[in-house]
Structure 1
Amino acid sequence: MLDVPVQRRRAFVPVAVLAVGTFAVGTDAFVVAGFLPQLAASLEVSETAAGQSVTAFAVAYAMLSPILATVTARLSRRALLVGALLVLALANLGSALAPTFAVLLVTRVLAAAGAAAFTPNAGAVAAALSRPEVRGRALATVIGGLTVATAAGVPLGGLAGQVLGWRAALGLVAGACAAVAVAVFAILPALPGQPPVPLRERLSVLRRPAVPAVLALTVLGMAATYTVYAYSAPAMRAVGVESTASMLFLYGVGAIFGNMAAGYTIDRWGASRVLMGGYVVMAASLAGLGWLAGGQDVPVALVGLLAVGWGAGTWCQTPPQQHRLIGVAPQEASLVVSLNASAIYVGIGAGTLIGGLTLAQGVAVTYAAGAVLAVLALLLIVATRRI
């Protein structure tokens, strides 16, 4: 019989592989921000219009996530996750070869389908493979793949876009997704699907007041950060930083810290307190960057510090939100995690749209809009903290 440490290590390996998968998915979802100006110039559209490719991805993800959860219910979890990664690989290859912006949008929607099938199921599988007392850490590990993508994948993608071209950068993402598909197939244990449940019945969980309240917070929190993040290049130029990749790296460092700290503190202090602290940090960081965008001459180190806080405040929110939802509806864990993933991308789409609308008024206004949304998220978690 295996001793407890060996059992724990064996349980952790599949969770770690799922985290690598979310790294590949996160790089795909966020990488456009790293080379937005080059993409816009190549396809002869404005930066604001190019940013709407992020909105298209986000809206498609939000709409497809619950639908795919329904139609793929019977599939083995391993087969579903591998198939989703292969769809992502093909979609990114299509994006890399897109001759026009319209074709690019179509391939981004296809990529959203792959991401919508992978990310929520990765979280649900991680929760199923983990003991209840360490579920917060398991969820944080899987979401950690997304945060590492913001720290390394996106800046490296942006650098590859500058050095090799944005098409080559997306080609590299396609290769990464295909490689992770092989790893998931080789390492993830076989897990059965679930009996199919009609979409209407699945969405009946939204009748529980606690569920839409949690999802609304996810939308607000992600909209706050993506008001600025999708337009990182002009946003960083406005505060005197020409190297967007370096600031995105620092944002990602903060994201990793915020995500992993959330995973450990949820199990000790509770999800609501973690979220309150995160929104305070996010609002303060965005407000500080907005003040600097007004023309103040300050050291780049201060901008970097605020970027770290911005990332930490952003990515400390997903593990506690998932934890809250699973606590509210433990029998529908896969579904509520899928709905939370939809809410994340509704927030990303809304934030990108707000960012595009405010960018013409000045980057300081864009930062201010993000800070206001973060304050609204703080007020909402205070109001719903007992959930």
Structure 2
Amino acid sequence: MSSLSVSTSRPTTGDRGSPEQGGLSSTLVLALGTFAVGTDAFVVAGFLPSMAHDLHVSEATAGQSITVFSAAYALLSPVLATLTARLPRRALLVSALVVLGLANLLSALSPNMAVLIISRVIAAAGAAAYTPNAGAVSAALVRPQLRARALAVVVGGLTVATALGVPLGNLASHWLGWRTALGIVAGLCLVIGIGLRAIMPKLPGNERVPLRTRLAVLRRPAVLAVLPLSVLGMGASYVAYAYSVPALEAVHIPQGAILWMLFLYGLGAVLGNIASGYATDRWGSVRVLTVGYICMTVALGLLAWLAAIDTALQALVGLLVLLWGASSWCQTPSQQHRLIEVAPQEAPLVVSLNSSGIYLGIGLGTVLGGVMLPSGMPAVYGLGAALAVVSLLFLLITARATARRG
């Protein structure tokens, strides 16, 4: 993700009313945009089996569309941030949504896997250009006293998409087909782009920061002790979650109940994200992450056991899925807090790099899950649990080393 630098220039509203009115209304539309972007990023896992069947490929091969999107997002973010820095913000955001919408339309019409992969790369470019700039613009369009709330509203769109994207994809695929589901996402992006063009006041671009400068922070030992954990931790969660439909079927969740299990995961994700913010302020990020990785290990380990013994315990699975979602998404606030602590002068940059790390982790988990699929779902869940243990060990070792250096 590109850095969330905030322009200090006041917006030019023309006939759009006062800057404050334009800022408040634009913030709501920007939040709808982040919801669309987040839904696009997470929706594929909800209809992976039907996509694989329609394109005549295995589920592991179809899952690589998630990997490609995630990797492209992570790699393109700093490049696009540099290339588009001086563009007017409204033009950039509207263009990003149009690109995302057209890419989803291409995905919906894909005749084969090759075209689908190309369309997912284009979609990742649109998403990488939109999300971080939407946060920065929302903060620039309101008074300083309202900036935190504006950011919360915009990021809230992404959080809601995290909770709803996969279950909505599963539901739309079941009723309408996966192509129609992606077509709906495409239409949503284009409609929001039109709304943003009509409502958002003009805002100039920012000063261009060279790519080398953006990435120089990666040479700091303190940052390198923190950032890889975002990749490991999200990878641990996504080993099984990228293939959530067959993963839930393996623990005897019937087709009609899979949707509700996916909603439970999303509910856990939202609760874990919120609770992590409060708990990090009170007890510190390392303690919160330690509890999170222990919970993830327990949840995925027990799911592996249930899949292996071939026993139907739906109530227990529901609790484990809720815990799985909470432990997966409790990582982000704590990791951002740790990165800001070690690089306070580059806070926007390290937060954006953390987002890239999250998407790299999603891609890594999807690849590893696809490799393990032929071995059965107990092995997939087990690998996720093992990666959660590795994440915990990495956290404890690096936190102790950082404390000694401090």
- TM-score higher than 0.5 here? yes
SS in 1 for 2:163: helix
Please state if 1:154 is matched with 2:166.
yes
Q: CA distance change for structure 1 residues 368 and 163 in 2, over 3 Å: closer, same or farther?
A: same
Q: Partner residue of 2:5?
A: none
Alpha-carbon distance, 1:205 to partner = 1.1
Q: Among residues 378, 385, 395, which one is paired with 1:364 in the alignment?
A: 378
Q: Cα offset for 1:74?
A: 1.5
Structure 1 residue 66: Cα displacement = 1.1
Looking at structure 2, the residues matched to 384 and 9 of structure 1 have their Cα atoms a distance apart, in angstroms, of: 46
Max radius of gyration: which structure? 2
1:23 and 2:14 matched: no
Q: Does 1:299 find its partner at 2:318?
A: no
> Given the alignment, which residue of 303, 306, 311 partners 2:325?
311
Return the match for 1:266 from 267, 273, 280. Answer: 280
Q: 1:32 deviation in Å?
A: 1.0
Residue 121 of structure 1 and its aligned partner are, at CA, apart by: 3.0
Give the TM-score taking structure 1 as reference length: 0.88
Unpaired runs of 5+ residues, structure 2, are 1-19
Matched, 1:88 2:100: yes
The partner residue of 1:194 within 184, 206, 230 is 206
Is the Cα contact below 8 Å between 1:222 and 1:344 reproduced in 2?
yes
Cα distance in 2, alignment partners of residues 140 and 301 from structure 1: 33
Cα drift, residue 339 of structure 1: 1.7
* Alpha-carbon distance in structure 2 between the residues aligned to 1:327 and 1:127: 22
Give the alignment of 1:96-135 within 5 angstroms: 96-125=108-137
* 2:361 aligns with one of 339, 347, 358: 347
Matches within 5 A, 1:280-295: 280-295=294-309
1:87-109 CA distance string (max 9 Å, x none) = 11111011011111111110001
**Letter of the aligned partner of 2:393 in structure 1?**
L
CA distance in 2: counterparts of 1:378 and 1:154, whole angstroms: 27
**Residue 42 of structure 2 contacts residue 162 of structure 2 at CA under 8 Å; is this kept in 1?**
yes
| Worse overlay, 70-79 or 341-350 | 70-79
Separation in structure 1 between the aligned mates of residue 189 and residue 276 of structure 2, nearest angstrom = 27
CA-atom RMSD in angstroms: 2.8
Equivalent pair of 1:78/1:189 in contact (CA under 8 Å): yes
The count of corresponding residues between Structure 1 and Structure 2 is 380
Q: Find the aligned partners of 2:94 and 2:39 in 1 and give their Cα distance.
A: 17
Alignment of 1:214-293 (within 5 A): 214-243=226-255, 244-293=258-307
1:141 offset after TM fit, Å?
5.4
Structure-2 change in CA distance of 1:73 and 1:327 (3 Å): farther
1:87 counterpart letter in structure 2 = V
Residue 218 of structure 2 is aligned to residue 206 of structure 1: yes
Structure 1 position 12, deviation (Å)? 7.6
Tell me by how many angstroms 1:264 deviates. 3.0
Partner amino acid for 2:357? A
Q: 1:66, 1:335 within 8 Å by CA — same for their partners in 2? A: no
Partner of 1:179: 191
1:170 equivalenced with 2:200 (yes/no): no
Please give the secondary structure, in 2, of the residue aligned with 1:75.
coil
- The alpha-carbon deviation at position 190 of structure 1 amounts to 5.0
| Alpha-carbon distance change, 153 to 131 in structure 1, aligned in 2, over 3 angstroms | same
Tell me which moved more, 299-308 or 172-181: 172-181
What CA deviation, in whole Å up to 9, does each residue of 1:65-123 have, x standing for no partner? Answer: 11111111122344333322221111101101111111111000100111111223344
Identity score, percent: 61
Q: Go from structure 1 to structure 2 and tell me whether the alpha carbon gap of 1:199 and 1:218 turns closer, same or farther (over 3 Å shift).
A: same
Aligned partners of 1:60 and 1:109 also within 8 Å: yes
Contact 1:134–1:267 (8 Å) recurs in 2: no
Residues 150 and 251 of structure 1 are in contact (CA less than 8 Å); yes or no, is this contact kept in structure 2? no
Equivalent of residue 60 in structure 2, options 44, 48, 65: 48
Deviates more, 1:65-74 or 1:185-194: 185-194
- Letter of the aligned partner of 2:94 in structure 1? V
Q: TM-score, normalised by structure 2?
A: 0.85
Q: Secondary structure at the match of 1:26?
A: helix
Mapped partners of 2:301, 2:102: distance in 1 = 39
CA offset at residue 217 of structure 1? Answer: 0.7
89-98 or 178-187, larger mean C-alpha shift: 178-187
Decide whether the 8 Å contact of 2:87 with 2:205 is kept in 1.
Answer: yes
